[in-house]
Each structure stands twice: as structure tokens, then as C-alpha cells.
Amino acid sequence: MRTSKYGRRRRTVVRLAACSAALTLLLTGCSGGSSSSAGGRVTLSFTWWGNDDRALRTNKAVALFEKKHPGVKVRTSTAGYEAYVQKLATQAAGGDLPDVAQLDYRQISQYAGSGTLLDLGPYMKDGTLRTAEFDKSLLRTGVYDSTQVALPMGQGTTGFTYDSKIFAKAGVPKPKPGWTWDDWADAGRKITALGLKGPDGRAFTGLTDIGVNEDIFEDWLRGHGKQLYSGERQLGFTAKDLTAFWTFCDRLRREKVVSQAKDTAQLGGAIDESPMGRRLAATDFTWDSPYLGYPPLLGDQIRFAPVPTTAGRAGQYFKPTMLVGVGAHSAHPKQAAELVDFLLNDPEAGKILGVNRSAPPNQAIAKSISKDLKGPDKEVYDYERRVAAYGVDAPPKAPPRGDVALQVAFTRCYQQVIYERQSPARAAAEFLSEARRELR
Amino acid sequence: MTSVLRTTPRPADAAPSSTPEGRRPRRERQGPAYIFLSPWILGAVLLTLAPMAVSLYLSFTDYNLFDPPHWVGLRNYTEMFTEDPRYWRSVRTTLLYVVVAVPLKLGFALAVALLLKGMRKGKGFYRSAFYAPSLLGASMSVALVWRALYNDGGTVDEILSGIGIHTGGWVSDPSLAVFVVALLSVWQFGAPMVIFLAGLQQIPGDLYEAASIDGAGRTRQFISVTLPMLSPVLFFNLVLETIQSFQVFTPAFAISGGKGGPADSTNFYTLYLYERAFSASHMGYASAMAWILLLAIGAVTLVIFRTSRSWVFYANEGA
């Protein structure tokens, strides 16, 4: 690498400034040790985001890896998604990405484009990383600029978790693949008409307002034959499309069929903060791995249904629930690759990890653990096969840089609608102008 | 700085004459001084001046933390003023906050200081008790407690519901959320209160005596004696609190969970700046925002200084 002396100095100064700025804001970035090898022992760092169950299972798998690879020690750390993403970005900026890091689909372009992720190609060639059992279209989601920079850790898709008891009570038939958005809205109307009450005496609504979630908008959009992005610098939809989606949601909110503004505004990562988790709504849009958190919280009557279609056309798709990559500056890339291979391909590790990151990408492992699955775990596995049988399109290319900010902007712009500060059309116009600036 | 060093008393006269090769004595004595000062000089240069210079440079670039910054001229500034509705929302929110929180906080501080001044017993206890929130105030935990108090189903909501006023939680109401942050600031009135108290004790008692002989009641005394005599202290507190209020961050961050919500209603200037920098990775834009904030605070402070000529009274002026 040939960096001019001036350029290097400037970067250092810039980093220094960024560090001190971060310090002033009491952010805990900038440090975060990478690997070290004291006394002949190799220490790897491995980070991920997720719930306690994931932490428990992952640590167990890592312990097994350490047993099988004496001389390698793995220092693990975990956090909630938002804190994790911010910390990782600061680490990446300092050239200090952990040896092995769990990544989101939306981060791939940003990290790979700046050279913070290791090219995994050589390790796949020499057999350290085995991908023969992977689905090819899923494997491609970890490719940036024809370089494999990450591997999928799980395969997931979206759906609606719903309370089957309440559905039955309202006389709504069990949702089947191919049900439409009108069916969905009707279900909401029937359930709301029951006049149920939430725990603190507040009205129980049929549905959770989906207008705040860009993921569900993407499904809706694909059902209409469009997509979120049509290129690195361009959206694949117009203000008219977004206005139509938000008008649909807003109308249901005014009818009090979907959750009300202040409950919708609380939607975040945590299940128990969602209207459904707080027993204020009968359905919630979610990914299939977080769905597993609902039955323990709300009871066995909770089921999982496919995303409604637009006149039979499904918009949902299989996406890597998360990917795993190796830091470009890792001091022990070989051992890091071994750890990744172990997590993805070792049958014992596969059994320990289960479906916490959704169905394993290694299809042999997926098949073998599917036999032992029970309850919601089994339901997710069957659900994916049912959705695949109905037919879904291939996943889109990894989203462009700036997408992370737009996902947040989407929620914020819709909040202006539910608090009745802006019309759906005006909020959509604001989102599009923000998108233009982010993708520039 | 050098002038200060020159006036320091000379040590024994033997020292300069003992230097060989005729080195200049003054420099020799300055050396140790600079060595002892170096931590502070280094700190000022490395942690304040250099980052400021870099930030000014970055404000003319597009910099995402990952790739080297590239020069975009004034684009960050023009974007801020002409294309970004959120920027103006954050300006409005911050101004609203300053206009509400500063007078309320100062009024509260002065009222409590007046109460404490007349107290004979337990003054020390109350002074500490009222000052404590200011010490705790900047902490995340207090802001979180505050959030819980004003949340949907929180204590305030329940008490108000008990007397028949249904608000449904202030934190999740975009028109009320900003006042939750303002109230948290008012609750931390301890620091200006202590300064007011010190100022009140400086007012000579004979002024009150003279006023009461002239037949002035308590209100009259307050308006004609206390306020003018206290005006320099009031001025000091006003400047300090205004500057601080423009930079409100921690409570807004905690109360809105770092997002400035609901519907951008608690997206204060600094919170938006932080979000641009660390969530959206637009360091250049954030730097430009920081410089505009600096200029704005400078301008407001200047205005306060200018108006102070007509209302701040110094005791020796009339003499």
C-alpha cells in the first residue's frame, strides 16, 4: 500500500480528532483491542449482537472450538444491535475491526468498500473455509465487487407473528401463503371489532402499524414489482409508491385498526416494547428468528404467517439474517477463518447454535438439526420450506452505503404522519429528499 | 504568557553567572517553567486547538470515517440551510428549550436562594440538598429516572390521571416531550442558586434598613434594592445558563433513547449533530453544524452583553 506521507498524516490527524470528539461525547469507541499473541497463544476477538440465548449458545460453541484448537483463545463480546453497530463503525474507522465480527447485510457495502474486511477467497480456495453445502444465491449476498468479504450465518425471511386464539375468536381464517394485504386489513378490522382491552384497560387493536418499518415496505414494494434500490446511488421507487403505502397504513390508524401513535413510536428492537409484546395488538411484523421470542412471552397460541401478497405476488425473500466477516487487519487471519468455518460447518457447533440465527446456511447441518426441532423452532423451519415452495424471488444486491441512515429516516418520517404533523405525501417527499442526499 | 514569566521573582543571582559560554539567562529560567507547563500546553494544543482546526477543515469536506475526506467547499453549509428540514426543526426545538428552561431555572434558583437567605437553622443542609441534583444532573441515570417518571403509565401520568387529567405520558407526546427535558433542567437549579446566595449575602444590610425607614415594603425592597444589587450576578448566571442550554445533550439523549423522538420533537441541535456524526457517519456535516453552533452561541452571548449595559448595575458606578 502506498499512501503519501501527507495523506497518512492527514488521516492520523483526522482519526485523532475523531477520537477526541468521541471522547468528549463519552463514547466508548476508539480503543477496543484487536488480537494479540502472548506466550505462543493466539487470541482472537469475536463480536456479535443478539439476545441472551444467542450469547449462551455462541459462547458454548466457542468453548468447543477452543477445546479443539488448543493454543487459540477467543475473547467474545456481545451487545444490543444499535450499540453494536455504532461501536463497530468506530472500531472500523480506527482500522481496529475485531478478528471475527457478525455483520448486518446493510453494513457489507460500507465496510467492504473501505477495505476493512478481509478477502475470504484464498481461505475458501485452500479449504479452510468450506462453502460446498451453501445455497449459491445466499452465498452471493456476502460478495462485494466480486470479492467474498463475508459469509451468511443464517437464512431468514419475514412474516407476521399472530395470536391464533384471537384470530379464531374473531372468525378470521388461518393466514395461508398467498393471502393479500386486503385480507390482512380485514383481519385487523374484525379483531378490533371484538372490543378487547389491553392490560391497562386500553383498546386492543388488531394489527401493529407497519408504516414505521422499511423492511415491510420493501416486501410490499417487491410485491408491486419494484425494489428498494435500483443501483448504488438510486432508489427503486418513487414518492408516489411511498405515499400509497403510508396512506394505506395511516387510514388504518385513523380507523383505529392498527396500533396508535404513541405505541407505534415505542417500536424498537425489543419484543416486549412492541404493541403485541405489550398485549395491545394481535399481530406484529417480524423476521423469523426474532419470532422465536414471542411464544415464551405470550404463550403457545402464537403462530407465524407469511407476508401478505399483492394479488398473489409475494414480496418477501430469503436474506442472510446476518453475515460473518474477518477484519482486514487481523493478526491471525488463518485462525479467524478456522473459527468462522467451525461456527458454520461443524456439526456439533451446528447443534449447539440451533436456529437462533435462523436456518443454518449449511444445508446438511440445517437438515440434520431439523429432525430435533420442536415447537416454534420447528415452526420456523417448516415455515421457510412452505414459503420457498410458494415461490419467492432472489434476494436483491447488498444495499448501498447510506442505507443504514435511511432505515432510521424511514421510521422518523412516518412518525411525522402518525402524530399528524405531516401528510403521507409530504413525509414521503421528505424521505425521498433525504435519500437523494444520502445516496449522492 | 511570557510577561507573566518575566515578572516572577528571580532566584539567587548566582545562577546566571555560573552558566558557561554566555547563554542567555532569561531563557534558562524559562525552561523549567515551560516543562512544568507542558502538560497543559500539550493538552490545549492536542485536545482543543488541533481538533478544532481539523473540525473546521472537515466542515468543508465529505467525510464518512472510513474513506479519506474529500473537499466539497461550502456544500455542507448550503445543504444545512436550504435542503435539510430536520436542521431547522432542531434549531426550533433548541430555541424553544432555551427560552423556556433558562428563565424558569433562574427564577427557581433565585426564589430558593431568597428563602434560604432568611433562614437561620439548617441552611447548610438545605443548600446541599438543593445543590445535589446539579451534581447528579449530568448523569445518564437521573435522566433515565426522569424518563420513567414521565413515561406512559409513569408516576406523573398516574398522579395526573388520579385528578382527572389524562395526558398518557409526556415522553411519547411530541408536543410535551421537550418540556420533560426542560423540567429536568429546572430541577437542577442548584448551581445558579448557590451563586445567587453568594450574591445576596454581598448586599449591604444598611440598604435594606434605609429602604424600610423610607417606608418600602418587602416587594418594593426586592425591586428597588435586591434586583439592582444582584444584577451582576443575574447577568453572570444568565450568560452561563444560556450557553449551557444551547448545548443540552445528555437528558435529551436519554429521554428519547438517543433518537430525538417521538417525531423529532426532542431532536436538539447537539443531538442531531451527534446523530449526523456517529449514526449517519457524516463527520463533515456534523463539523459544519458544530461551527454554526459556536457562532450562534457567540452571537447570542454578544447580544446579552450589549443589553446588559442598560440593566446591569455595578455598585461603584454611581459613586
Q: Do A17 and B51 touch (CB under 8 A)?
A: yes
Would you list the domain boundaries of chain B?
75-310
B283-298 per-residue burial string, b: 16 or more CB within 10 A, e: under 16: bbbbbbbbbbbeeebe
The Cβ of residue B42 has, within 10 Å, a number of other Cβ atoms equal to 10
pLDDT of residue A22: 44
Query: Does the beta-carbon distance from B85 to A415 stay under 8 Å?
Result: no
Q: Is the pLDDT of residue B6 over 50?
A: no
The pLDDT tens digits for A101-147 are 999 888 888 888 888 899 999 999 998 999 998 888 888 888 888 88
- For residue B10 the three cell numbers come to 528571580
* Predicted confidence band of residue B28 (pLDDT cuts 50, 70, 90): low
Q: Can you give the pLDDT at residue B127?
A: 82
To the nearest whole Å, the CA of A306 is away from the closest chain B CA by 30
- Name the one residue in this structure whose C-alpha cell is 458606578: B317
Q: Decide which of B85 and A394 is more confident.
A: B85
**B residues 246-265 lying closer than 8 A (beta carbon) to A:** 249, 257-259, 261-264
Mean pLDDT for the stretch of residues A424-439: 93
**What pLDDT, on a 0 to 100 scale, did the predictor assign at position B203?**
87
Interface mutation vs chain A, best among B46, B49, B64, most A CBs within 10 Å: B64
Q: Residues 6 or more apart from A391 whose CB is under 8 A from it? A: A314
Q: What's the pLDDT tens digit per position in A161-191?
A: 999 999 999 899 999 888 999 999 999 999 9
Of A241, A221, A264, give the one whose Cα is nearest residue A429.
A241
Cα separation, A356 vs A351, in Å, equals 11
pLDDT of A31 above 50: no
Would you place residue A278 in the very low, low, confident or very high pLDDT band (cuts 50, 70, 90)?
confident
**Listed range (A376-380, B68-72, B256-260) with the worst mean pLDDT:** B256-260
Q: In the CATH hierarchy, which top-level class contains the domain A158-316+402-439?
A: alpha beta
The pLDDT, as a whole number, for residue A25 is 42
Percent of chain B with pLDDT over 70: 88
Distances (CA, A) of A364 to A340, A361, A383, A394: 17, 9, 18, 21
Query: One-letter amino acid identity for A17?
Result: A
Q: pLDDT digits over B190-236, tens only?
A: 889 989 988 998 888 888 888 888 888 888 888 888 888 899 999 99
**Among chain A residues, CA nearest to B67:** A114
Residue A4 has pLDDT above 50, yes or no: no
Pairing of strands A42-49, A100-103: parallel
Alpha helices in chain B (DSSP H): 2-7, 14-17, 25-42, 50-58, 75-82, 85-117, 123-137, 140-150, 155-162, 177-187, 190-202, 205-213, 218-221, 227-246, 250-255, 269-274, 283-311
Pair type for strands A143-144 and A147-148: antiparallel
| pLDDT surpassing 60 at residue B319 | no
Write down the domain spans for chain A: 8-156+321-390, 158-316+402-439
The reply to whether A158-316+402-439 shares the fold of A8-156+321-390 is yes
Q: Which three cell numbers stand for residue A13?
A: 490527524
Cβ-contact A323, A108 below 8 angstroms: yes
Query: Which residue in B80, B262, B255, B279 sits closest to A266, CA to CA?
Result: B262
Mean predicted confidence (pLDDT) in A337-358: 90
Residue A35 reports pLDDT greater than 70: no
Residue A85 has pLDDT above 90, yes or no: no
- Considering only CA atoms, give the Rg of chain A: 23
> Distance between CA atoms of B244 and B267, rounded to whole angstroms?
16
Count of other CB atoms within 10 angstroms of residue B63: 25
Residue identified by cell 429521554 is: B255
Q: Is A27 helix (H, G, I), strand (E, B) or coil?
A: coil
Q: Left (φ > 0), alpha (ψ -120 to 50) or beta: where does A35 sit?
A: beta
Predicted pLDDT at A2:
40
Q: Which is it for the CA torsion A7, A12, A16, A22, positive or negative?
A: positive
Query: B75-310: CATH homologous superfamily?
Result: MetI-like (1.10.3720.10)
pLDDT at A307 over 80: yes
Number of cross-chain residue pairs from A and B with Cβ atoms under 8 Å apart: 101
The string of pLDDT tens digits covering residues A218-251 is 999 999 999 999 887 899 999 999 999 999 999 9
Of B153, B249, B279, the CB nearest to A200: B153
> A20 vs B153: CB contact, 8 Å cut-off?
no
As a whole number, mean pLDDT of residues A286-291 equals: 86
Which CATH architecture group holds A8-156+321-390? Answer: 3-Layer(aba) Sandwich (3.40)
**Confidence (pLDDT) at B271:** 92
In chain B, what is the greatest distance between 2 CA atoms, to the nearest angstrom?
Answer: 90
CB contact under 8 A, A412 and B257: no
Q: Output the average pLDDT for chain A.
A: 85
Are the C-beta atoms of A260 and A185 separated by less than 8 Å? no
Residue B302, C-beta contacts closer than 8 angstroms, at least 6 positions apart = none
B173 touches chain A (CB under 8 A): yes
Provide the pLDDT confidence category of residue A413 given band limits of 50, 70 and 90.
very high
Q: How confident is the model over B14-30, as a mean pLDDT?
A: 55
Question: In this structure, are residues A95 and A331 in contact, taking their beta carbons and an 8 Å threshold?
Answer: no
Q: Write the residue in A266, A415, A434 that is nearest to B263 by C-beta.
A: A415
Residue A269 in this model has a pLDDT that exceeds 90: no
Lowest mean pLDDT among A366-380, A382-396, B65-79, B147-161: B147-161
Distance (Å) of CA A292 to CA A272, A356, A376, B6: 13, 8, 6, 75
pLDDT above 50 (res A19):
no
- Are B234 and B311 spatial neighbours (Cβ–Cβ below 8 Å)? no
pLDDT at A57 over 80: yes
Looking at the predicted structure, is the pLDDT value of residue A38 above 60?
no
pLDDT average, residue stretch A355-365: 87
User: B49 by DSSP, 3-state: which?
Assistant: helix
Q: Are B66 and A262 in contact (CB < 8 Å)?
A: no
* Minimum mean pLDDT range among A250-254, A315-319, B19-23: B19-23
- pLDDT grade for A152, boundaries at 50, 70 and 90: very high
Whether residue B78 lies within 8 A of chain A, CB to CB, comes out as: no
| pLDDT over 90 percentage in chain A | 43
Q: Is B1 on the interface with A (CB under 8 A)?
A: no
